[in-house]
Amino acid sequence: MKKATAGRVILTALILMALAAMWGVQSDLAYYVAQQRPILLGRYTLSKTISLLMFTPVLLMILRAMWKKKVADPRARRIERFKAASATLSIIIAIMIADAALRTIGKHRAAAYVGTATSYHRTPNQVFTGVFHDFPEFAFCYPNATPGYPPVEFTLSVDSNGFRNPVQAETYDWIVLGDSFAEGSSVSDFDGWVPKLAQMRGVKIYNLGMSGGSPLTYLDTLEKFGTALKPGVALYMLYEGNDFRDSNFRQEKISAVEDSKKARSNPFKTSPLRTLLKNYLIKHLGPSGKNRFRNDPEINNPSHSMYPVAWLPFRLPDGGAYGYAFDVKRLEQHYITAESFNATKACRESIRLLQEAIDVCRANDIQLVVLYAPDKPHILIHDIAAQVPAGQVRAFLRTRLNDLPPAPEFMDALIAGTAVREKIFRDLCQANEVQFISLTEPLRQQTRAGVRTYYTYDQHWTPEGHDVVADFLHETIRSQ
């Protein structure tokens, strides 16, 4: 008897030690903040939190069963086991029914987009209204997060073709191709650069921009919708943040059939009940501990766990009130050489698709103008280099990359890398005698001057940013 009790004591101690280790070791917070992924309870990732919430009750139940007084009556033991099995089976059946019901409801919801990955648009003849809030996606984020842009009320009007054109005409002078930066994400109908430019120039512009687009969709949209409008000018906007990613050109993304097969092959990952649970935990456990490192005097010490992300949001001008944040992948894409970018599928395909768009425009007597839209790190990189220690920027990128040179050499390479993509496409346009207009310098200069060109936590332009773009294009296209 004493031997059995001693065994239970040892096992109990091991279980309690395991629980202490599980709850005591926090996740790599800087890594997940840099990736803009959720942190719960101020200490753990979402997956670890779920694991803790699953295994802790199980281990405690094991402890309870170990120390619970044994029932002598065999019939009573059978009844207890039956009750436990029935409760477990009931829970499993209830979960399956709830999951099936949520899947059915999801299938009957109206789709926001119509088409395939290479050719799509919004559901026609819709008007969406709402308020855009510029704040971090998750409560636990940068140690000293700055306020975002004030709430923006918006109206998004979709025409009969499924594109954002609040006012339609019988004929159009110009068309616009691009992604959400062309469509005008996070601003209202008449606050985007397209309607502003149309008013300034006194021309009718049809906006074929579509959120989430890429060079794949730009060419398809030009061929299916653009040429039929018989415009004189086509403005082709390239956004370096998303357009030059290899993932845009993966077959599984391009093929809707492959996407559906992939979804069916892993029903657990597509479970709406799983998504509901994750969102619930993020909403209710995310705010706990969110201010854990606020105003920590050691935050910029290289030994501090949050050192890699402590400099974000980056404030400009000169450390002023406006903050600009971005995830580490957005900065990583600039740590590249011309040789390595040219070797990517994204570069090759983007060049091929742009070349085809040039040919289509020439065949239809359309003057093509390529607009280059930079992302936030591109316009901020020189100011970041001047204000943030190179070692801290390097630590930020090291949350994803390990093989980095010493800090000074690293920063020089990063600054040089921000110009790689733009130069390649500028040279391509010059070789084809196509107008190339970069928005990098006007956005950089106005941001330095105190204009809030980008949202703090969203990648898109603010209404003021759209003003900068519209003004510059009005003046630049006129002069050319």
Taking residue 180's Cβ as centre, other Cβ atoms within 10 Å add up to 19
pLDDT by residue for the chain (480 residues), tens digit each? 565 577 778 888 888 898 898 899 999 999 999 999 999 999 999 999 988 988 888 888 877 777 776 656 677 667 766 766 676 677 667 666 766 665 666 554 445 788 876 778 999 999 999 999 999 999 999 999 999 999 999 999 999 999 999 998 989 999 999 999 999 999 999 999 999 999 999 999 999 999 999 999 999 999 999 999 999 999 999 999 888 888 888 765 555 444 444 444 566 566 777 788 889 999 999 999 999 999 999 999 999 999 999 999 999 987 677 999 999 999 999 999 999 999 999 999 999 999 999 999 999 999 999 999 999 999 999 999 999 999 999 999 999 998 899 999 999 999 999 999 999 999 999 999 999 999 999 999 999 999 999 999 999 999 999 999 999 999 998 644
Q: Say how far apart CA 142 and CA 392 lie, in whole Å.
A: 14
Query: Does residue 267 have a cis peptide bond before it, meaning omega lies within 30 degrees of 0?
Result: no
Q: Are 370 and 426 in contact (CB under 8 A)?
A: no
**Residue 77 included in any domain:** yes
DSSP three-state, residue 372: strand
End residue of a domain, out of 56, 74, 107: 107
Place of tokens 């069916």: 264
CATH number for the domain that contains residue 406:
3.40.50.1110
Domain match, 29 and 178 both: no
Domain match, 126 and 59 both: no
Domain match, 342 and 227 both: yes
DSSP three-state, residue 262: helix
Query: Does residue 147 have a cis peptide bond before it, meaning omega lies within 30 degrees of 0?
Result: no
Domain match, 228 and 362 both: yes
**Residue 203 included in any domain:** yes
**Residue 258 included in any domain:** no
Place of tokens 């800090």: 407
Q: Are 375 and 326 in contact (CB under 8 A)?
A: yes
pTM of the model: 0.88
Instruction: For helices 2-24 and 46-67, give the axis angle rounded to 10 degrees.
Output: 170
Domain match, 347 and 470 both: yes
Burial class (CB in 10 A: 0-12, 13-18, 19+), 207: buried
Q: Say how far apart CA 312 and CA 335 lie, in whole Å.
A: 18
Domain that holds residue 326: 113-245+318-479
**Residue 301 included in any domain:** no
Q: What are phi and psi of 291, to 5 degrees?
A: -100, 25
Can you read off the two tokens belonging to residue 66? 């170990």
Q: Say how far apart CA 126 and CA 451 lie, in whole Å.
A: 33
**Residue 341 included in any domain:** yes
End residue of a domain, out of 86, 107, 128: 107
Cα dihedral 117, 119, 120, 121, rounded to 10, equals 150
pLDDT, tens digit, 9 for 90 and up, residues 220-237 = 999 999 999 999 999 999
Amino acid (1-letter code) at residue 175: I
Amino acid (1-letter code) at residue 448: R
Can you read off the two tokens belonging to residue 371? 């607009």
Q: Say how far apart CA 398 and CA 393 lie, in whole Å.
A: 9
Domain match, 333 and 222 both: yes
Taking residue 360's Cβ as centre, other Cβ atoms within 10 Å add up to 17
**Residue 269 included in any domain:** no
Domain match, 215 and 344 both: yes
Domain match, 125 and 91 both: no
pLDDT, tens digit, 9 for 90 and up, residues 444-478 = 999 999 999 999 999 999 999 999 999 999 999 86
Q: Which residues are within 8 A (CB) of 133 and not within 5 positions of it... i.e. 6 or more apart?
A: 148, 151
Smallest CA-to-CA distance from 238 within 479, 439, 433, 443 is with 439
**Residue 324 included in any domain:** yes
End residue of a domain, out of 82, 107, 132: 107
Distances (CA, A) of 459 to 32, 125, 134, 454: 18, 27, 10, 7
The secondary structure element, H or E, covering residue 47 is helix 46-67
Taking residue 448's Cβ as centre, other Cβ atoms within 10 Å add up to 16
Count: domains in the chain: 2
Dihedral sign, CA of 337, 339, 344, 349? positive
The secondary structure element, H or E, covering residue 238 is strand 233-239
Domain match, 160 and 95 both: no
Domain match, 206 and 229 both: yes
User: For residue 286, what is the DSSP state?
Assistant: S
Q: Are 447 and 260 in contact (CB under 8 A)?
A: no
Can you read off the two tokens belonging to residue 200? 């300034």
Q: Are 42 and 287 in contact (CB under 8 A)?
A: no
Domain match, 235 and 353 both: yes
Smallest CA-to-CA distance from 299 within 12, 84, 33 is with 33
Query: Residue 57 half-sphere exposure, CB side, CA atoms within 13 Å?
Result: 5
Antiparallel, parallel or unpaired: β 119-122 and 205-207: unpaired
Instruction: For helices 390-397 and 376-387, give the axis angle rounded to 10 degrees.
Output: 140
Looking at residue 75, what is its pLDDT? 73
**Residue 259 included in any domain:** no
Smallest CA-to-CA distance from 234 within 361, 77, 352 is with 361
Domain match, 70 and 119 both: no
